[in-house]
């Protein structure tokens, strides 16, 4: 792996170098290769471009952990837009407040979360698309509607022969450029926003690359919330850049699901929180110790 001073060049290299390897799997569901991720990102970039979203515009991402959450996150950064991840378990009024507070131009969101929001109360939004397949949930903007309706046709015109690794060319970020607005859990009133430049994510990813050695194809189990910076950096950004195969737990990580994932994936390393370890010990280890020999 080449050392890069740009986070987006790391994404670009990872996709080109691991084109046919598995990248993202919703545990118990479908798998996306790095090639599949690249095609979905290319379509998302065309959607942004055709609907008038420009580098520097804010895009909200509010959904549970999934492969498509990762695609939306990487796709937004590599376009040069600013990603605004919001925890999916926030209350509807808080989510709506944060969409307005961040001046978001587009929301990529779980359909059930969108149903609880009031579109008329979000003044800056061009519209909202589903995180599941980027289908249209709401729009008052004709350019966005047209772009989404004709997205496959636009993609075909842009890449008339076939889509290759050489077509993966991403926005080259600078260290002080804004890339992400992170909102706290809002324990006192509404959430507070933290504006993070690219160097903030890059430096943490660089540290992980240097200190957590893994190789292309190594398995990783992603169980922490991706909208939190720790889970995002350790469980998604670093392994994706290193060519790892990320298995995402899309449901609440119960001890049974976690142990099933570990047995199937044989992860290269495990990153979790004490509460989950305690649950595993109480439900799996202690009963074994208490059995009479």
> What mean pLDDT is reported for the chain?
92
Instruction: Domain ranges for the chain, please list them.
Output: 7-290
| Confidence band of 188 (pLDDT split at 50, 70, 90) | low
Question: Per the structure block, which two tokens stand in for 111?
Answer: 């359909």
Main-chain dihedrals φ then ψ at residue 22, nearest 5 degrees:
-70, 140
Sign of CA dihedral 96, 101, 107, 110: negative
Render pLDDT for 221-256 as a digit per residue (tens, 0 to 9): 999 999 989 999 999 999 999 999 999 999 887 878
Please state the pTM of the whole predicted model: 0.93
User: Average of pLDDT values for 2-18?
Assistant: 92
d(CA 123, CA 129): 16
User: pLDDT class for 285, splitting at 50, 70, 90?
Assistant: confident
Kindly indicate the confidence band of residue 1, based on its pLDDT and cuts at 50, 70 and 90: low
Strand, coil or helix: 145: helix
Matching residue, tokens 């737990």: 249
Using alpha carbons only, how large is the chain's radius of gyration in Å?
19
Residue 86's closest CA among 186, 196, 233, 175?
A: 186
> Which of these, 84, 83, 79, 85, lies nearest to 55 by C-alpha position?
79
**CATH 3.40.50.10330 given to domain 7-290:** no
Whole-angstrom distance, CA of residue 69 vs CA of residue 250: 11
Q: How many residues does the chain have?
A: 293
Residue of 117, 104, 111, 113 lying closest to 58 (CA atoms): 104
């Amino acid at each position: 792996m080449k050392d890069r001073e740009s986070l987006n060049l790391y994404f670009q290299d990872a996709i080109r170098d691991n084109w046919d390897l598995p990248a993202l799997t919703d545990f118990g569901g479908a798998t996306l290769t790095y090639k599949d991720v690249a095609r979905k990102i290319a379509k998302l970039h065309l959607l942004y471009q055709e609907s008038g979203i420009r580098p520097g515009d804010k895009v909200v991402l509010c959904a549970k952990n999934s492969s498509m959450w990762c695609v939306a996150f990487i796709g937004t950064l590599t376009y040069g837009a600013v990603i605004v991840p919001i925890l999916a378990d926030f209350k509807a009024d808080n989510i709506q407040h944060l969409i307005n507070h961040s001046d978001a131009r587009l929301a990529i969101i779980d359909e059930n979360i969108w149903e609880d929001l009031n579109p008329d109360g979000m003044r800056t939004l061009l519209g909202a698309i589903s995180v599941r397949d980027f289908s249209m949930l709401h729009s008052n903007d004709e350019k966005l509607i047209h772009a989404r309706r004709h997205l496959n046709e636009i993609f075909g015109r842009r890449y008339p022969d076939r889509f290759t690794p050489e077509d993966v060319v991403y926005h080259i970020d600078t260290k002080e450029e804004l890339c992400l607005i992170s909102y706290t859990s809002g324990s006192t009133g509404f959430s507070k926003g933290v504006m993070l430049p690219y160097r903030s994510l890059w430096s943490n990813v660089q540290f992980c690359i240097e200190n957590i050695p893994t190789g292309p194809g190594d398995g990783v189990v992603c169980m922490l919330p991706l909208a939190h910076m720790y889970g995002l950096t350790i469980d998604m950004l670093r392994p994706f850049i290193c060519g790892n195969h990320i298995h995402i737990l899309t449901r609440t990580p119960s001890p049974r699901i976690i142990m099933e994932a570990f047995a199937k994936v044989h992860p290269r390393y495990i990153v979790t929180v004490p509460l989950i370890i305690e649950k595993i010990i109480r439900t799996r280890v202690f009963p074994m110790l208490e059995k009479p020999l």
